[in-house]
Chains A and B, each alone.
Chain A
Amino acid sequence: MDLDPILISRIQFAFVVSFHAIFPVFTIGLAAYVAVLEALHYRTNNPLWLKLSKFWIKVFAVVFGMGVVSGIVMAFQFGTNWSNFAYSASNFLGPILSYEVVTAFFLEATFLGVLLFGRDKVPKGVHLFSACMVAIGTFISSFWILSANSWMHTPAGVEMVDGMIHMTSWTQAIFNSSFPYRFAHMALASFITGGIVVAGVSSWYLLHGRNLETSKKALKMCVIMLAVATPLQLFIGHEHGLNTFENQPMKVAAMEGAWETKTAAPLILFAIPDAANETNHFEIKIPYLASIVLTHSPSGEVPGLLEVPADERPPVGIVFWSFRIMVGLGLIFIAVSLLAAWQLYKGRLFESKLTLRAFTWLIPAPFVAVLTGWFVTEVGRQPWMIQNMMRLDEAITPSITGWMALVTLIGYIAVYAVVMFAGVFYLKKVIQGGPEPVDEAEESDSARPKRPWSAVPSSTFDESPSAAGS
C-alpha cells in the first residue's frame, strides 16, 4: 500500500497540536485566575480565597502537566516531519522559539515549582509573586508562539533566496499583520475558557449544594468577566476576520462557502459544500450580509474559491463547518453570560437552576470552540505552509516515508489516549473531591504540621451558615 507521508504528517501534526492546544488555552486563563485569588488572599487574609486558590492550583497542576508533556512533542515536530520547512525558516523561527523558551517556559516551569510546593517554604508575598510569574509566563509564551504562527499566515520582514529565508526586518516579522488580532483573539479565548470552566464547576457545586460560599464567589467573578469578554470576543474575532479577508481571501472564501466571486454576496448560514462539483447544496442564506460584514458595503465584492486553481484551494468543508461551530458556540457564550450577569444584578443567579445547568453543560464547549477556530485558520491556509511562500510538499522531511509517519502517528494516539484517560480520571477525582480536604492526597496533607494550610482549623472550611455569614 502506498502511504502518502505528507497526508499522514498533516494528520499527525493536526492531532498532536490539537491535543496540545486544549491545555495551554485553559492554563493561560486559569493561571491568571489563580494569581487573582492569591492576590485577594494576600490582601484580605480571607481563608475562602486561599481555599479556592488551593483547589484551582490542584486542577492547574494536572492540566499544566499534560500541557508540558504534549508541548515537548511540539518542539520536535517541525524537525521530524517538516525538516525542510524548519531548515528554510530557521533564521526566523529558531530565534523566536528560543525566545519563547528563555522568556516564558523557564519562568512558568520554575515558578510553578514554588507555586505548587513552596507555600510553606517562602514568605506569602513571594508565593504570590510566583503565582504572578506563572501567569505572566503563560502570556509571554503565547506572544511568541502566536507571532511565529501568524508569520506563517502573513509572512513579513523576510526574503526567500535559493530556498532559504533570510531576515530583512525583525520588527516587521514579529509584529506581522495578523499577529495583533490573533494574539488578542487567543488571549480572550483563554480567559473565556478558564472562566467557563470555573463557572461550570462552581455551578455544579451550587446545584449539588456543596461548597456554597466559595462557589458563589467564584461564579460571581467569572460571570462578570465573561459578560465583558464574550461580546468583546465577537468584535475581536470580526476584526481578525477582516485581516484574514485582506491577506488570505481564499481562507475567507472557504469560511463563507463562496465559490464564485460576487458583489452583494449573501451570508450562507447552512450548506453542504461540494468541492468536486465546486458548488454548495441546500444553501440557506441571508442576502447582502457577507458583503456587509466583510466590506461594510452591501455591494462590496467578495472573492470566491474559483479565483484560484483547485490545487491552491483549502479543503472547504472543514473550514466552512468549523467556522460555524466556533461562531455558534461563541454566540451561546454571549447569551448565557449576559443572562447570568442580568440574574446576578437582580440577585437571582445562584437560585437559577437553568443558568447553573447551562454553565455546567458548557464546560467542554470552549475547548470545542478553540479547536474549531484553529481548524479554520490552519486548514484555511492550505496548501501553504508559509502563505504564498512555501507549499506543504516543499516543507516535508525528504527522508520520511509513509509508514514512519504512520507508526509514530499511531504511537502518539496511543500515548495521548493514556494521558487523556488518566488526566480526565484524576481531574474528575479532584473536582468531585472539591475544595474540602476529602480526597486521599489532602488527607495525607493534613498529617503534615509543617504546612500552614493544615494548621488552619478545619472548622474554617465548614460550609455552615455561620461561616457563610462571616
Chain B
Amino acid sequence: MDLIDLTLIWVVLIGIGVFMYVLMDGFDLGVGILFPFAPDDEARDQMMNSVAPVWDGNETWLILGGAGLLAAFPLIYSVFLPALYIGVFLLLAGLIFRGIAFEFRFKATKNKHLWDYSFFGGSTVASFAQGAVIGAYVQGFQTENFRYVGGAFDWLTPFTLMTGLGVVAGYALLGVTWTIMKTEGKTQDWAYKVAPWMLGAVMFFFIAVSLWTPLANERVMERWFENLNWLWIFPVATVALGAWIFQRLRKRGEGSPFIGSMSLFAMFYIGVLISMWPYAVPPNYTFWDAASDPGSQLFLLIGFLFLIPIVLGYTAWTYWIFRGKVKPGAGYAGH
C-alpha cells in the first residue's frame, strides 16, 4: 500500500461524490426554494415536473456521501453526525417533506397548496442545513481521542447561519437557471427576471464568507495570505464568472447561466478545499487520521472503479431521455 496513497484517492473520490451531490440535488432543492415565488400553479407544475424524474437519483448521491464517508473516512462520519445532531435531524426532516411532496402534490386536489409549502419548506430547511454543515466544517469540532465531545448547539453560530443562508441562495440560483433551461414562455420569463437577484445574493454571501473565514480562523488566514501570489486567481475568477453569468442572463442565454452557476459552485468548492486542506475533522485530524483500514478502502475502491462509471452512464442516459423543455400542461403528473 506504500506505492499508492489510497487515502488520497479516496479524498478525490469522496470530493467528486459530494460535489456531484451539490450540483445535482442543488438545482432540484433550488426549484423547491423558489416554489412559492413562481408566478402561478402552472409554472409550479412545470418546475416540479422538470425535476420529478431525476430528483430521487440525485438524492442518492447524499446517501452515497454518508455511506462512502463511513467506508473511507469513518472519523468524519462519527464526528460530524453527533456534532451536527440537531442539524442532521432538520436536514432529514426537510428532505422527507420535500420528497413526499413530489408524489402527494399531484394526487392532491383540495390540499395541493399544502404540498407546495411542504416542498418549499423542506427544500429550504434541507439546503440551509447543508450550508450549516459546511460552515461547521470550516469552524472545526471539539474532539478528544477520536470522539466528539462538544455540545448539541456548538455548530449553530452566526458564521454557520451565514453559510447556511449562502447555500440557500446558491441552490436557488442553480434552481432558477435550471428553470430557465427547462422551461419556456411565462415561466421562463419569470425565471429570467428573478435570476439576477439570486446571483446578487450569492455574490454577497460569497464575499461575506470569504472575508469572514480568514478573519475567524488563523490557519485559513495564513493559507491564503502566504500563497497570495497565486491564490488571488480564485477570488478574481469567481467574480469574473459572476459577471459572465449576469451578462448571459441579460442576453437570455438558455443553458449558459446554468452551466455558469455550476462552475460558480465549483469555484466555491475549490476555495473551501484550499482553506481546509489537509484537515478532515479540524482542528485535530487530517484525512489520513480519519481514514479507514487500507484493506477496506481497497475493497470498495475496486468495486467503485467498475460501478461508478456504470452509474454515471445510466444517470446520463435518463437525463438524455428527459432532455428538452417541459411544456406547460404536458406534465408527468399522472403516471
Of the stretches A215-223, A331-339, A380-388, A439-447, the one at the interface is A439-447
Q: Mark B314-335, 1 if CB is under 8 A from A, else 0.
A: 1100100110000001111111
A111 and B314 contact, CB distance less than 8 A: yes
Of B149, B150, B293, B308, most buried by chain A (CB within 10 Å of CB) is: B293
B82 adjacent to chain A (CB < 8 Å): yes
Contact B96 A117 (CB under 8 A): no
Question: Could you tell me the distance between the alpha carbons of A419 and B93 in the complex, rounded to whole angstroms?
Answer: 11
Contact B321 A118, beta carbon cutoff 8 Å: yes
Name A405's closest neighbour in chain B (CB-CB): B85
For A109, list chain B residues within 8 Å (CB).
56-57, 59-60
Residues of A95-123 at the interface with B, using a CB-CB cut-off of 8 Å, are: 95, 97-103, 105-107, 109-114, 116-119, 121-122
Q: A73-B96, A105-B60, A109-B59 are in contact. Are A399 and B150 (CB under 8 A)?
A: yes
Task: Knowing A65-B99, A69-B100, A90-B70 are in contact, say whether A75-B63 is a contact too (CB < 8 A).
Answer: yes
**Cβ contact within 8 Å between A444 and B299:** no
Question: Which of A81-89, A193-201, A253-261 interfaces with chain B?
Answer: A81-89
Residues of B in contact, count (CB < 8 Å): 74
A121–B335 CB distance below 8 A: no
Cα(A121)–Cα(B109), bound, Å: 27
Contact residues in B for A94 (Cβ distance below 8 Å): 67-72, 74, 77, 292, 296, 300
Other-chain residue from A70, A99, A105, A122 in contact with B300 (beta carbon distance below 8 A): A99
Q: How far is the CB of A156 from chain B (nearest CB, A)?
A: 16
Is A423 an interface position by the 8 A CB rule?
yes
Cβ–Cβ contact A441 & B56, under 8 A:
no
Interface size on A, residues (CB 8 A): 80
Q: Digit string of B68-91 for contact with A (CB within 8 Å is 1, else 0)?
A: 111110110111111101101100
Which residue of B is nearest A398, CB measured?
Answer: B147
By DSSP majority rule, is chain A's interface helix, strand, loop, or mixed?
A: helix
Q: Contacts A97-B71, A102-B64, A400-B82; is A426 near B104 (CB within 8 Å)?
A: yes
Q: Tell me the residues in window 333-392 of chain A with beta carbons closer than 8 Å to chain B beta carbons.
A: none
B interface residues (Cβ-Cβ under 8 A, vs A): 52-54, 56-57, 59-60, 62-64, 66-72, 74-75, 77-83, 85-86, 88-89, 92-93, 95-97, 99-100, 102-104, 106-109, 146-152, 292-293, 295-296, 299-300, 303-304, 307-308, 311, 314-315, 318, 321-322, 329-335
New A-B contacts (5) at CB < 8 Å, excluding given A83-B82, A399-B83, A412-B89:
A69-B95, A75-B62, A75-B63, A90-B78, A399-B148
Q: List the 6 closest pairs (A to B, CB-CB), nearest first.
A: A94-B71, A79-B81, A445-B334, A90-B74, A113-B53, A94-B70
What residues of chain A have their CB less than 8 Å away from a CB belonging to chain B? Answer: 57-58, 61-62, 65-66, 68-73, 75-76, 78-80, 83-84, 86-87, 90-95, 97-103, 105-107, 109-114, 116-119, 121-122, 166-167, 170, 397-401, 404, 407-408, 411-412, 415, 418-419, 422-423, 426, 429-430, 439-445, 447-448, 450
